[in-house]
Structure 1
């Protein structure tokens, strides 16, 4: 089994992926900022290799990812965060925080690791189904994940001639510490082990786009294909239904 690297491995989907791969005996680089959580993961075996660094710091990324032996063949770039805008009141500092982690952090990880990329490698970038349609309060999160989706799909085009596969993951609602903070209904939410299984199966089958849960993400994709005027009407209805 080829080695795998996972960012955002100390919580949520990333943590479950790390546990699942580790329990299968696969060499796993687990990346994050939380030293205590990384230590817990490393207790799963010597084949679990913790890397503590801050994704928002490019020099930290480059230092942590420079010398990896063995070199991962699958790179799961999963780290991210979510904050919401209330009532359309713009908060530039909030936007910056979310984009710094979700977009700049992703770019930092790729730049720090790209000298390792080779034919046969698989880059897996975790976005969100929220990027498919404008949703209430999602000015920061949704916009950042739209940027992630575009970045990932563009990399897929540019890295294909080098024999490097790029997959984009589009999760719906998954029960994690991140979604535990949400104060609104989250339809068709799935457990984190289901999400991790869907990602692992998508990676193994070489899917370019990995959507789950299937029914919910299918609905959002259909709605996202409608004219913007119709999407706007539906989004306004969501706001009214909450009031």
Structure 2
């Protein structure tokens, strides 16, 4: 397995004291080294969970393993073989949150950047398929799967052809999985944040209305998952506005979306 120091800590579902085993739940989290993922990692650790933290940055992962309840896995999720090898020896999982992703904008739609499009789709959508292939058999009955999408799947936005398409794919994927995994007693959640201040969104060159912190986003997500909600969207004031506009004629919401993300 491709883990830090080429070792895998004692499996998180098997604590040293067997009497503690029934009290310890295990989360596998991708994109755990920054932004929302880092906030989720910290929050679940504070709640007493064991966290299997996945990412590509060995320096940031090495900081996480200072906590005894963290197992760090260094893996490039866009590489199927790496994903298969990295996740092959995992214990059973109570919760999987597939959070890793990237955002790049197509600044000139008339001169469409196909390589950028492929890069974003591979990172945000294709890699999720690799993870599902490796991880779904490990989720316990009564467990949960959460896919991190975006409020960009509610309305189309200017310059977001690649990012929005990838997140629209995540939304459909989550809805379909929720149907088919119900018989296996696995609940599925779709997480659709609005604007969240992260190293990724710090690169944005436009206004981000109702932007919240990663810690606030983590609170919304944890509360929604605790309630086993399917559609976890936040902040509600922002996402409900988007959902309301989506019900209006296309001519209006095309105008609205085009204005929202213009440079």
Q: TM-score range by the shorter chain?
A: over 0.9
Indicate how the Cα distance of structure 1 residues 184 and 158 shifts in structure 2: closer, same or farther if over 3 A, else same: same
| Contact 2:105–2:162 (8 Å) recurs in 1 | yes
| Contact 1:62–1:113 (8 Å) recurs in 2 | no
Q: What is the match of residue 30 of structure 1?
A: 53
State the TM-score, normalized to the length of structure 2.
0.87
Q: What is the match of residue 67 of structure 1?
A: 89
Match among 111, 136, 139 for residue 117 of structure 1 = 139
Q: What is the match of residue 30 of structure 2?
A: 7
Unaligned runs of 5+ in 2: 1-23
Q: What is the match of residue 41 of structure 1?
A: 64
Answer yes or no: is 1:226 the counterpart of 2:248: yes
Deviations 1:84-135 (A, max 9, x none): 0113231000000000000001111111112213321100110000011111
User: CA–CA distance in 2 between the matches of 1:26 and 1:102?
Assistant: 26
Deviations 1:131-180 (A, max 9, x none): 11111110110111001111111111111111110000010000000000
> How many residues are aligned here?
239
Q: Kindly report which structure 2 residues correspond to 1:65-104, keeping only aligned pairs within 5 A, or say none.
A: 65-69=87-91, 71-88=92-109, 89-104=111-126
Answer yes or no: is 1:169 the counterpart of 2:208: no
- RMSD of equivalent CA atoms: 1.3
Moved over 6 A (4+): none
Secondary structure at the residue paired with 1:73? strand
Secondary structure at the residue paired with 1:167? strand
Q: What is the match of residue 189 of structure 1?
A: 211
Unaligned runs of 5+ in 1: none
Match among 129, 134, 137 for residue 107 of structure 1 = 129
User: CA–CA distance in 2 between the matches of 1:109 and 1:24?
Assistant: 25
User: CA–CA distance in 2 between the matches of 1:6 and 1:161?
Assistant: 24
